[in-house]
Chain A
Amino acid sequence: MGNGIQSIHPFVMFFYYLFVGFYAMFFNHPVFLLVGCFALVAVNLTHDRGSSMKQWLPMMVGMTLLIILVNPFINSRGTHVFFYFRGKQVTLEATLYGVVTSMSLLMILLLFISLNLVLNGNKILYIFSRILPKTAFLIMLSIRFVPLLKRRLTEIQDVQRLKGRTIRQGSIRNRAKSGMAIMQILLAWSLEEAIETADSMKARGYGTGKRSPYNPFRLTKVDRQWLVYLFVLFIISVIGGLLGYGKIIIYPKLGTLHLYSLDWVVFASSMAIILFPVFVEGREQLKWKYSA
């Protein structure tokens, strides 16, 4: 599973994440946000059956509960009073605000989990190499050095352990000291090596002309269709949002939570944006099963 979304062009995915991130911060109707969270959970399930979501689960649950529970007690704005706690009023408005804020944050976290899976290092750098080519090149080089340096670190640590210098034992002072000594060896070794890498780059013609990137992604017709789909729906939801649909007034006095028919239009179009990866995946499944 998850192959369908990987074949979508990075630019399309970039706009998807931009739009959904905007959605999470723009609308504040609890129904919108709650369903948005569920939709993003579904999106994450299509990526890898939710295995990377599980790693973040404690943090997500902890943060959500903390905001929902703490907000009504530290914030006493609003007019619908539930009860008094140590002389401060606990209001419906503050409780609801906590729910809305935590949902919005939860959506952003879920979005980032999906982003880490779909727009992995290569693809995100492809997007930025169009805007900031040199910086993207620097980052790319740096990412490539990380596994190399990790390998060197284990080598250095093995040798140093034989000499009795280890980070695992002793007082904190000594452990920090030997850790830094290992880093210093890594520094001296790697700086020399970096110059060699640079010289070999130069020998192969780095900097002689305009950089020509290898382009592993091609914008196909399907990608263009999805892009139009996302943009049209996004414009509908933003116009709806600017007219006040999908939003509630919390302070100073809670407004109505009722959803009008136009609210449902905005709701449907924004859900259609959020569920876009699910549609891509579903389309692949249908094609796989029913095409001749």
Chain B
Amino acid sequence: MERSRNYLVAISIVLLLLLVVSIVFFHYKAYLLVSLIMIACITIPFFVRFEWREVAGREIVLLAMLAAIAAVGRVPFAGLPSVQPTSFIIIMAGLVFGAESGFLVGAAAALVSNFFLGQGPWTPWQMYAWGMMGVSAGLLRNAWWMKSIWGKCIFGFVWGYLFGWFMNMWIIVSNVEALSWEYFLGIYVSSIYFDLAHGLSNVFFLAVFSASWIKILQRVQRKYGLLV
């Protein structure tokens, strides 16, 4: 706990310095750069914890497999636009295996699927958004409302929007000088349909399939004593 607080203090100082530097030297131009560094600062502790922890071979392979399944999940749904099970699988991983595993599966799934679909400036944002989806699912897994099917559905629906809103940010940040309420609203309005589809497909999958997926994942977890 002590160490993580030190980290947070150090990071906030670094971020403040970066903002000052970006305003003084870059004339408000480097928001994309600063935002990427912010994302890196937030995600690094997760990766570092994973590096330092004793991880059994089975656990690494299991996490890699889950990330690969989440990334491949886009394939059978290619015929259904903006319906993809990736978010659902990441939420499942977070629910069963905890916040850190959820983060790793989410971030790795984003990175791996982009190796096949094309990397771009959006990759770190996707890694962050899906990673945080896994983290939040892991952190909330013991909340009373998360145990009910309704709670899970609301969680999935909210994340459908949060993910879309967050992915809009990279467009806004890369053109921040043009920021006005019309521009901001225009981008968010144009994504409403996609976010709605994302949220609704999350709800559908969570309502119909979450029980059986949790059962399958928990069986593996108990049988081999992994990631408990």
Which residues of A are interface residues toward B (Cβ below 8 A)?
A: 22, 25-26, 28, 56, 67, 70-71, 74-75, 94, 97-98, 101, 104-105, 108-109, 112, 115-116, 121, 132-135, 137-139, 141-143, 145-146, 149-150, 153, 157, 167-168, 172-173, 175-177, 179-180, 182-184, 186-188, 190-195, 197-199, 201-202, 206-207, 242, 247, 249, 251
Contact between chains at A180 and B209 (CB < 8 Å) = yes
Minimum CB distance partner of B88 in chain A: A180
Cα separation A75 to B184 with both chains bound (whole Å): 12
Contact between chains at A247 and B27 (CB < 8 Å) = yes
Chain A nearest CB, measured from B62 CB (Å): 5
Chain A contacts of B88 at CB under 8 A? 180
Contact between chains at A74 and B220 (CB < 8 Å) = no
B54-87 CB contact bits vs A (8 Å, 1 = yes)? 0111101111110111011101110110010100
Minimum CB distance partner of B68 in chain A: A145
Cα separation A135 to B180 with both chains bound (whole Å): 40
Contacts A26-B30, A133-B51, A207-B56 aside, 18 further interface pairs with beta carbons under 8 A come to A74-B178, A74-B183, A98-B178, A109-B121, A112-B119, A135-B104, A141-B60, A141-B65, A142-B68, A145-B68, A146-B72, A179-B85, A180-B205, A186-B69, A190-B69, A198-B62, A199-B58, A206-B57
Chain A contacts of B63 at CB under 8 A? 138
The yes or no answer to B204 lying at the interface (CB within 8 A) is yes
A75-B178, A143-B112, A146-B116 given as contacts; is B62 within 8 A of A194 (CB)? yes
Chain B contacts of A105 at CB under 8 A? 174-175
Chain A contacts of B111 at CB under 8 A? 139
Chain A contacts of B25 at CB under 8 A? 242
Chain B nearest CB, measured from A194 CB (Å): 4
Minimum CB distance partner of B174 in chain A: A105
Chain B contacts of A75 at CB under 8 A? 177-178, 180, 183
Contact between chains at B58 and A198 (CB < 8 Å) = yes
Chain B nearest CB, measured from A70 CB (Å): 8
A105-B174, A176-B80, A184-B209 given as contacts; is B64 within 8 A of A138 (CB)? yes
Chain B nearest CB, measured from A72 CB (Å): 9
Q: B51 contacts which of A132, A153, A157 (Cβ < 8 Å)?
A: A132
Chain A nearest CB, measured from B51 CB (Å): 5
Chain A nearest CB, measured from B31 CB (Å): 9
B contact residues, total (Cβ < 8 Å): 65
Contact between chains at A157 and B76 (CB < 8 Å) = yes
The yes or no answer to B142 lying at the interface (CB within 8 A) is no
Contact between chains at B76 and A145 (CB < 8 Å) = no
The yes or no answer to B224 lying at the interface (CB within 8 A) is yes
Cα separation A22 to B37 with both chains bound (whole Å): 13
**In residues 9-47 of chain B, which contact A (Cβ within 8 Å)?**
25-27, 29-30, 32-33, 47
Chain A nearest CB, measured from B187 CB (Å): 11
Minimum CB distance partner of B31 in chain A: A25
The yes or no answer to B212 lying at the interface (CB within 8 A) is yes
Chain A contacts of B51 at CB under 8 A? 132-135
Contact between chains at A195 and B61 (CB < 8 Å) = yes
Minimum CB distance partner of B65 in chain A: A194
25 inter-chain pairs at a CB distance below 8 angstroms, sorted by A residue, are A25-B32, A26-B29, A74-B178, A75-B178, A108-B121, A112-B119, A138-B67, A139-B108, A139-B111, A145-B69, A146-B116, A153-B75, A175-B79, A176-B80, A179-B83, A182-B76, A183-B76, A183-B89, A187-B69, A191-B217, A192-B220, A195-B61, A195-B62, A198-B56, A249-B27
Cα separation A105 to B65 with both chains bound (whole Å): 34
Chain B nearest CB, measured from A112 CB (Å): 5
Contact between chains at A134 and B183 (CB < 8 Å) = no
Cα separation A242 to B177 with both chains bound (whole Å): 20
Chain A contacts of B73 at CB under 8 A? 183
Cα separation A194 to B30 with both chains bound (whole Å): 43
Q: A141 contacts which of B61, B120, B216, B217 (Cβ < 8 Å)?
A: B61
Contact between chains at B26 and A26 (CB < 8 Å) = yes
Cα separation A132 to B51 with both chains bound (whole Å): 7
Chain A contacts of B213 at CB under 8 A? 184, 187
Contact between chains at B72 and A195 (CB < 8 Å) = no
Cα separation A206 to B116 with both chains bound (whole Å): 28
Chain A contacts of B180 at CB under 8 A? 74-75
Q: A194 contacts which of B61, B104, B120, B204 (Cβ < 8 Å)?
A: B61
